[in-house]
């Protein structure tokens, strides 16, 4: 999936101060955060499946999908909607 962000000139100059390649820095930051979230989801899924004698799906992609299908996790936008209703 591709995402596009827009930086102001000042934001661009500020990023260039800390990063040799701004695009690479932004991409890496997003991938590292996604990896941490994936690890959290897998832990939640494993704990639930172990506690309820449910077979754990094989592979990280399948385990994330399983956590969503079991309703153990949801999109942050879904959580936000629940908090505002």
How is residue 27 written in tokens? 């991409």
pLDDT tens readout for residues 9-37? 999 999 999 999 999 999 999 999 999 99
pLDDT at 22: 97
Domain ranges for the chain: 9-84
pLDDT at 72: 98
Task: Write the CB contacts of 63 (distance below 8 Å, at least 6 apart in sequence).
Answer: 41, 42, 45, 46, 56, 57
pLDDT at 54: 98
Q: What is the pTM of this model?
A: 0.84
pLDDT at 78: 86
Q: Is the pLDDT of residue 82 over 90?
A: no
């Amino acid at each position: 999936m591709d995402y596009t962000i827009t930086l102001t000139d000042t934001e661009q100059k500020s990023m260039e101060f800390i990063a040799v390649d701004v695009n690479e820095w932004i991409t890496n930051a997003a991938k590292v955060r996604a990896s941490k979230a994936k690890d959290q989801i897998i832990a939640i899924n494993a704990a639930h499946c172990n506690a309820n004698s449910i077979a754990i799906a094989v592979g990280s992609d399948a385990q994330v999908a399983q956590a969503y299908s079991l309703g153990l996790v949801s999109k942050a936008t879904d959580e936000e909607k629940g908090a505002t209703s």
